[in-house]
Amino acid sequence: MYKRDTVVEGALQQLRHLVETKYGIGDKLPNERELSQQLAVSRGTLREVLGILALEGVVDRQWGVGTTVCSPRPMASLNMSNIESYRQRLELGGRIVALGDASCELALAPDSALKALRRDAGTAMWKVYRLFTVDGSPTAHMIEYIPTVIFGAPIDPRPMLQVKTSLYDLLNEQGVGPVEKTVTDVAATLVTGDTALALALSDGEPVIRAEQVTYNTRSEPLAHGISLQRTDLVPMRIIR
């Protein structure tokens, strides 16, 4: 693990220096084969490095177009443009993200959602289920609970059944936003049963469990979700 991190960090420093000294804003970088040869790293390592620079706003990656240098994005404010969805984070790294399955229904919310959203026992909410695939493989199993009405605005969760609409997009478009922050608790867990089957894993295999609460600018809770994510196919890195 240490050796792998060292290789990525070294390639990251090389590529950042190359971008700063050899290219200007709007310039297109060489293709992955040429860049990996120039940096003497594998294409897998190069994609990871390009993903980091994309998250930092140094480059922009578009599937089928290539990688271009861009102005670093502002990092000071916490608004809709800074809170990125699962799909956005991965597409910045050049991955292809799709929905393998998705549904929404009215359901009684579990105690964890009721507590997080400050709702009474027995409250029904929208239950939105989404199974994300990355490069054709199932990678994230997500269930989100959203109140049917938030601050007087009725919520229609159906746009989230399309991969391009995130929870943040939905809340903003339906008059509930802007979203200011999300608070996420992360832990390792083991998957079993239907969840393991959906993620193409065997019973007892480890995944990352993330429990997330989304808040508005007044620190009022808007939605609660739990995701189970495979890190063997999609490694996780936290940059702060």
Whole-number mean pLDDT of the chain?
85
Please say if the pLDDT value at position 3 is more than 60: no
Q: Does residue 153 fall inside a structural domain?
A: yes
Taking residues 31-48, report their average pLDDT.
90
Give dist(CA 1, CA 237) in Å, integer: 13
Taking residues 74-79, report their average pLDDT.
32
64 and 95 in a single domain? The answer is no
Give dist(CA 69, CA 79) in Å, integer: 23
How many domains are contained in the chain? 2
Q: Does residue 239 fall inside a structural domain?
A: no
- Global confidence as pTM: 0.65
157 and 188 in a single domain? The answer is yes
pLDDT for residue 99: 94
33 and 132 in a single domain? The answer is no
Q: Does residue 81 fall inside a structural domain?
A: no
Please indicate whether residue 166 or residue 177 has the higher confidence score (pLDDT). 166
pLDDT for residue 146: 96
State how beta strands 153-154 and 149-150 pair: antiparallel
114 and 161 in a single domain? The answer is yes
Confidence label for 137 from pLDDT (cuts 50, 70 and 90): very high
CATH number for the domain harbouring residue 44: 1.10.10.10
49 and 115 in a single domain? The answer is no
Q: Does residue 79 fall inside a structural domain?
A: no
200 and 96 in a single domain? The answer is yes
Could you tell me the residue range of the domain that residue 18 belongs to? 2-69
Q: Does residue 80 fall inside a structural domain?
A: no
pLDDT for residue 238: 57
108 and 151 in a single domain? The answer is yes
Q: Does residue 218 fall inside a structural domain?
A: yes
55 and 16 in a single domain? The answer is yes
Q: How far is CA 36 from CA 41, 68, 78, 149, 174, in A?
A: 5, 16, 34, 50, 44
Q: Does residue 190 fall inside a structural domain?
A: yes
CATH number for the domain harbouring residue 132: 3.40.1410.10
Confidence label for 200 from pLDDT (cuts 50, 70 and 90): very high
The length of the chain, given as a count of residues? 240
Q: Does residue 156 fall inside a structural domain?
A: yes
212 and 107 in a single domain? The answer is yes
